[in-house]
Amino acid sequence: MILSTYTLAGIAPDYWYLVLAASGALLVYHADRAFFKAEEDLTNSIDRLLWYKNHNAYVWVSTIIAVIGVALGSTYVSGSVLRVGMLIGLGGILYSAPIPFTSWRIKDIQFLKTVLIIACWVAGGVVLPILDVVPVNEIVLLAVYKCLYIFPNVLLAEWVDRAGDADRGALSMGARMNLTLIRVISVAFFLVSIFLLWNWGSFAQRVDVLIIDVIGMLGMLVMILFNKTWTSEQIITVDLWVGFGLVTWLFQILTS
C-alpha cells in the first residue's frame, strides 16, 4: 500500500519510512496475536494460536528485528511523520490491550474496531508517506480511494471471524452483516472509486499506473463476488489483493 501511495503520488519512495511502517505493523500484530493472545482466536483460528505457541523463537527474533527497524526508521524520517507514526503505533497496540480493571479491549467496542483498523491502515499507508510533500486535496483523494479499497477486505474478515466475536459478546461491523450485503457494499465502493478517479484522476502522474492499481481492487471484488465458501486461510488471498500496490510500483519501475 505504501509503495502504491508513492507511485500514484508521483514521488520517490522513502525506504526508511517503509522500514519504520513495516516494523511497526509487525509489532502491532505480534502484540495482538502473540503477547495479548486474542481470545477470539480460540474459536476463529486455533491453529494460529498453536503456531505462535510453538514458535516462540520466531516471535522473539522477529520482534527484536522489528524494534531495530523502528529505531532505524525513526532516525531518518521527519519529526512530524515520526510523531504521528508513534500515535498510530500506540493506538494499534492499545487497540488489542485489555482496558485496565476490565476484561474488555478497545476493539471489543461495537463498530470502533472496524473504524480503527481502516483508520490506522490508511493513516500509515497513505497519509503519512506523503504528508509533507503532496497537496492536501491529493492526499484526501488517495485516502478516500484506499478507504474504499480496503473496507470490503475488513468487513469480510470480520464476517469470517463472527463466531469468535460472538463468543466475546462484541460483534464487529462486518460480523453483523451477511455475505450478500458485504458483496453489495464491495460493488458500490468499487463504482464510487471509479467515479472519483475518473473525475479527479488528473492527480496521477500516469493514468496507466492508476489503472494497474485499480486492477487490484477489481481482482478483490471478483473474488468476493464469486467465492462460495470462506475460511480464515482464504482471507489471506483477499489480503494479497490489498497488497496489489506492489505490482503498481513494479509496473511503474519497469515501464519508466
CB 117 within 8 A of CB 156: no
User: 202 falls in which pLDDT band (50, 70, 90)?
Assistant: low
Note the pLDDT of residue 5: 94
Note the pLDDT of residue 132: 83
Note the pLDDT of residue 49: 77
Those residues whose C-beta lies under 8 Å from the C-beta of residue 175, and which sit 6 or more positions away, are 158, 159, 161, 162, 165, 166
Note the pLDDT of residue 181: 96
Residue 98, SS3? strand
Question: Which backbone phi and psi does 164 adopt, to 5 degrees?
Answer: -65, -40
Among candidate residues 125, 127, 156, the one with its CA nearest the CA of residue 220: 156
For residue 150, list its beta bridge partners: none
Residue 105, SS3? strand
User: 105 falls in which pLDDT band (50, 70, 90)?
Assistant: confident
pTM score, two decimals?
Answer: 0.88
Q: What average pLDDT does the segment 13-17 reach?
A: 95
> Which tens digit of pLDDT belongs to each residue from 203-221?
566 888 889 999 999 999 9
What would the grid cell of residue 87 be?
A: 500515535
Burial (CB count within 10 angstroms: exposed 0-12, middle 13-18, buried 19+), residue 78? middle
What whole-number distance in Å separates Cα of residue 20 and Cα of residue 81?
Answer: 10
Note the pLDDT of residue 213: 93
Q: What percent of the chain has pLDDT over 70?
A: 90
